[in-house]
Structure 1
Amino acid sequence: MDVLEALLDGPRARGAFLLRALLDPPWSLRIEDEAPLTVLAVLRGEAWLTLDDQPPRHMETGQVAIVRGPGHYTVADAPETPPSVVVYPGGRCTSAADGRPLWDEWSLGVRTWGEDPAGDCVLLVGTYEGKSEASRPLITALPEVVLLSQEEAASPLLGVLEAEMQIEAPGQRALLDRLLDVLLISSLRTWFAARQDEGPGWFRAQHDRAVGPALALLHEDVAHPWTVEELASRVGVSRAVLARRFTALLGEPPMAYLSAWRLALAADLLVSSDATVAAIARQVGYGTPFSLSAAFKRVHGTSPQQYRLGSVSA
């Protein structure tokens, strides 16, 4: 398992908010949903994406943008068009003029919404509403907007996803979640691959002949009782060489990286599963639930049980 694969395992769609918006000029959507990650794609027509205090970005048919939250932004037919709709968490939307709810009023069928069924612009919106500790290094390495060109985004995925969004069938929600995941992973992989020299340390580390294999070993078997000596032996370098190169690229020694990764995985498992703390401790490499709890509290300031309860009530 490479590092990008491991980090991408976190932002999985689980009942993601997925919508086709059919819009006719003039239109402007003010997005204030504060979602950690949103995928936008122009299926037909064009749009302008504007983050607060940033220049507008033009999007043409076939282009894909990934917006990192929780900041607010505007998507419109033109940069100067004032917002007519405000979108809040959970997909709730209201008129910017008088605050009246618009979800039912503008409903155009299955996962389709807008003022005009024949609108000039068709916009695909896929929103990841859940947070992932394991994916934090990936998310924080992204700019606020990842915008792929038509050539970079060229893929049959958009057409497949658009077609499936208009179908209601058993298991459809899970199918759409997986398709959205594939679109996200494909887009991010393409974006990072074109910017290898500018990528974060964990991305560049994959191409180091010692650190890359060491990272793969850690991610493949996080529960193994790793030591720097064993890692170095497995990748064919000395302990000192591995420790030095690992720290230079990732900003922390191998065992510190492993500890942080284990706790991030534990945090996500507490939220996404009903496994006991003891089971999670074994899964991420802690000998006892007490050792996991002690390490977890040092980092998160709360016990695993309290963390789980807080996430459920949030």
Structure 2
Amino acid sequence: MTGVGEENKGGVSRASGDGGDALTEALTEVLGGARARGGLFHRAVLAPPWGVRVQDGTPLSVACMMRGEGWVRHSEDPEPVRMVPGDVVVLRGPAPYVLADDPATEPGLLIQPGDCCTTPDGQDMCEELALGVRTWGRDPDDPVVLLSGNYQLHGDLSARLLDVLPPVLVLREGEWDAALLPLVATEIVKDAPGQQMVLDRLLDLLLVSVLRAWFARPEAWAPAWYRAQSDPVVGVALRLLHEQPGHGWTVAGLAAKAGVSRAALARRFTELVGEPPMAYLARWRIDLAARLLREPGATLGAVARRVGYADGFALSTAFKRLRGVSPSAYRAQLAPDTAPR
């Protein structure tokens, strides 16, 4: 399994003082990009042998075992992961994965885009397997109960959050706040006014709780930009970019603030972060712009000025280059209750 429990790929520096504060702020910024809108939750009741292949293309999923046990096989990670009650698994999409009673079990059900459940030969099974609100299976007394939730839109997650995650991340019951599971289990089967909003916030809380626990582990892998926060030179530049994204930064200006030459900063920044300072700033600005575009009433011009672009046209060009869609197309993906009016 990639991530937890494997080799330490640099780890997370436990710097004190300003360095430690920077690490905390960086994690807050990354997790702050997670905000589900229309997230899907399911409660599956299963009996061996069972196998489900999830190929819906969603960017991120969370699965929790409530009763019984099972295994996860991700197409980008060759090692199966065992799940028992209290365990939680985060799965990075859009690559497919299989949940099954045994690593060798072939899936008999496929979860397709649009939350459609079919057999491998294409037979629709949604109606046949319905057991109640957000619950499916054949018998409510079957021995395995698996909860799952997923983010539907890439815009609900920052690019840096997805960069942080391995294909499969697992935490055992004693390694995270598993007390959340009973609350999630209770809310999944409710059909009350505003329930989708409750579930969206629970999905965010679930993910943040898991990632916070994961980052606290000394053996947890952390991306280069996260580790670089504690560097005495690059950390200064990163904090300036995070705190003042709308400023007209240049490599020379950042180098002066960090107390080194322009060439030295450019070389060290690229070495530690994995990309040059201006490329990092461009991505950071677009991540912030995507978040601001969710706010009701936000205009493209106002967002552009806040993140350092001269006008809406310049922001639109950069947004499409980095996100693959224009700001207007991105907004069209937003849920009606969060889209600007």
Say whether the fold is shared (TM-score over 0.5). yes
The corresponding residue for 1:262 is: 285
Amino acid at match of 2:119: S
1:202-261 per-residue CA deviation (whole Å, 9 max, x = no partner) reads 121233345445434432442244455765676x74465655543331133434322221
Question: Given the alignment of the two structures, is residue 152 of structure 1 paired with residue 175 of structure 2, yes or no?
Answer: yes
Query: Which of residues 191, 209, 234 is equivalent to 1:186?
Result: 209
Q: Distance in 1 between matches of 2:69 and 2:220?
A: 31
> What is the deviation of 1:183?
1.1
Amino acid at match of 2:96: H
Unpaired runs of at least 5, structure 2:
1-23, 335-341
> What is the deviation of 1:56?
2.2
CA distance 1:239–1:193, shift in 2 (3 Å): farther
The corresponding residue for 1:10 is: 33
CA distance 1:108–1:134, shift in 2 (3 Å): closer
> What is the deviation of 1:68?
0.8
CA distance 1:211–1:189, shift in 2 (3 Å): farther
Q: Distance in 2 between matches of 1:143 and 1:301?
A: 23
Provide the secondary structure at the position in 2 that maps to 1:132.
Answer: helix
> What is the deviation of 1:169?
2.4
Provide the secondary structure at the position in 2 that maps to 1:261.
Answer: helix
The corresponding residue for 1:176 is: 199
Asked if the contact 1:2/1:206 (under 8 Å) is kept, the reply is: no
Asked if the contact 1:20/1:124 (under 8 Å) is kept, the reply is: yes
The corresponding residue for 2:60 is: 37
The corresponding residue for 1:208 is: 231
The corresponding residue for 1:248 is: 271
Q: CA RMSD for the aligned pairs?
A: 3.0
Provide the secondary structure at the position in 1 that maps to 2:154.
Answer: coil
Q: Distance in 1 between matches of 2:99 and 2:130?
A: 19
The corresponding residue for 1:105 is: 128
Amino acid at match of 1:249: L
Asked if the contact 2:293/2:331 (under 8 Å) is kept, the reply is: no
Asked if the contact 1:37/1:67 (under 8 Å) is kept, the reply is: yes
TM-score (norm 2): 0.78
Provide the secondary structure at the position in 2 that maps to 1:7.
Answer: helix
> What is the deviation of 1:301?
7.1
The corresponding residue for 1:84 is: 108
Q: Distance in 1 between matches of 2:325 and 2:134?
A: 39
Amino acid at match of 1:136: A
The corresponding residue for 1:23 is: 46
The corresponding residue for 2:94 is: 70
Q: Distance in 1 between matches of 2:308 and 2:196?
A: 33
Amino acid at match of 1:78: D
1:19-44 per-residue CA deviation (whole Å, 9 max, x = no partner) reads 11111222111111111110011011
The corresponding residue for 1:60 is: 84
CA distance 1:60–1:247, shift in 2 (3 Å): same
Which shows bigger deviation, 184-193 or 125-134?
A: 125-134
Q: Distance in 2 between matches of 1:79 and 1:61?
A: 18
Asked if the contact 1:31/1:73 (under 8 Å) is kept, the reply is: yes
Query: Which of residues 286, 291, 297 is equivalent to 2:309?
Result: 286
CA distance 1:208–1:84, shift in 2 (3 Å): same
> What is the deviation of 1:131?
0.5
Asked if the contact 1:3/1:215 (under 8 Å) is kept, the reply is: no
Which shows bigger deviation, 263-272 or 135-144?
A: 263-272
Q: Percent identity?
A: 47
TM-score (norm 1): 0.85
Q: How many positions carry a matched residue from both structures?
A: 309
**Within-5 A mapping of 1:42-53:** 42-52=65-75
**Within-5 A mapping of 1:227-242:** 237-238=259-260
1:165-214 per-residue CA deviation (whole Å, 9 max, x = no partner) reads 22232322112211111111121222233256742111212333454454
